[in-house]
Structure 1
């Protein structure tokens, strides 16, 4: 037996009855239509966030995609898809490159690029910087692996290379923090994006 849920029409106050499969309700009294996904987008996003905290990335992705099916430029849902693709639980992990080890960087970069194309103009720059931040995190991880391999070598030459890479890894860590700071202080403004891009260019 189908589960029924009732709502009230905001226009005329009529009773709206929804079964489990409906996504759109039409008031039988005034004809006003309601998109249930749009009505409950905040609920979908909240549940997706819980899934993310529990590392249930597939379940979270489904909820973000549901929201985007009705609101293609929803910033929170686009960001959620990017984080899901990288197996990253939250933006806070991006502040510390050491926490970003063994993430799906290539998938995250691809998702960030896709989000940049689909986002509203005022949000596109955020995803551009997020792409470059994921790229830096990937390079940071590769540098860490190189440090580990070089530190096992006994020659002075390799030890010098390892010391140089330690500095480089620390530098990348600082750069990642600076980029997040630039975004935090300026949001997705043009000045903020320009500052973040300038920081990135310094090391590329």
Structure 2
């Protein structure tokens, strides 16, 4: 419905057009013009309301504007222009907070300011409540966007945090806590276990290698070794080696000193063997500690962000709830104001 189709030319039956500047109706077919007073005021408002119901806001606005050229303080026309500017059909829709995201505040603000300026004093409170509702709607839309943004950020922060922590549930522990995955405790435990195993091996090897077989208590010449036990006095006994001859003793001492000279660095080598692994192990632990501290810093920041996001989400949801309640109250007041006016 581009024009006011209900107004038919009495001469030819064509649809009349509205020329607001000339304040008259004009027939595009036969050229006849009619003063706007030719049609009743109620008819124009009915046409506008019907256009609104059909979603033909452009035609409805033209009808309301035409009405306002005749009667600038007409409540129904001012109300209609404001609702069209808000892309709403009825006052009841002002309580639907989701609709405000589609409102052009500049356009709506100009329409409401005009209504506040031109309306009758006793009807002005209606448009004041409308303006308050629109302002609430703008704040609601902003709070909703902020809450939705924080919800997405919260999800991202939680996903990011899962890269650095192991939840208690995964560890088989109770509670909602967590442990940082890169904690150096396991690395330290592994290095300590490896070092003690290495220490045991080194000591065993050292004792085997460093024990001098030519010690007087251990040395037995090959020629005097008994290869088997002998039966003596009812039992088998190992014969006691015969004392070393001077030549054998001299040979033993020579071999003893030779072995001692060859193995004089065994203690030093043992200590080196024990100390050398400490370097790589210490480096491994240091790298693990650095990574842990870095991850701890990241996790701490993520924790703070998550806490802030949750606070903001709760705050915005509380604000949205309060604004919705305020608009419901405003709409109820507006309906009480408009009801007797529209029934006249």
Common topology (TM > 0.5):
yes
Q: What runs of 5+ residues in structure 1 fail to find an aligned partner? A: 6-17, 25-34, 189-204
Q: CA deviation at 1:156?
A: 2.5
Q: CA deviation at 1:95?
A: 2.2
Number of equivalences? 162
1:36 correspondence with 2:38: yes
If asked which structure has higher relative contact order (CA below 8 Å, sep 6+), I would say 2
1:22 correspondence with 2:18: no
For normalisation by structure 1, the TM-score amounts to 0.71
Residue aligning to 1:122: 122
Q: Is the Cα contact below 8 Å between 2:130 and 2:330 reproduced in 1?
A: no
1:4 correspondence with 2:11: yes
CA deviations 1:148-173 (Å, max 9, x no partner) are: 10111122321221121111111100
Residue aligning to 1:195: none
Counterparts of 1:8-157 in structure 2, within 5 Å, are: 20-23=32-35, 35-37=37-39, 39=40, 41-154=41-154, 155-157=306-308
CA distance in 2, matches of 1:101, 1:55: 19
CA deviations 1:100-135 (Å, max 9, x no partner) are: 331223321221111111111211221122111111
Q: Following TM superposition, where does structure 1 have runs of at least 4 consecutive aligned residues deviating by more than 3 angstroms?
A: none
SS in 1 for 2:102: coil
CA deviations 1:138-192 (Å, max 9, x no partner) are: 111111111110111122321221121111111100010012223334x27xxxx
Residue aligning to 2:310: 159
Superposed CA RMSD in Å reads 2.2
Q: What runs of 5+ residues in structure 2 fail to find an aligned partner? A: 1-8, 13-26, 155-305, 339-344
CA distance in 2, matches of 1:105, 1:97: 14
CA deviations 1:53-100 (Å, max 9, x no partner) are: 233221111000111111111110011111112222221211222333
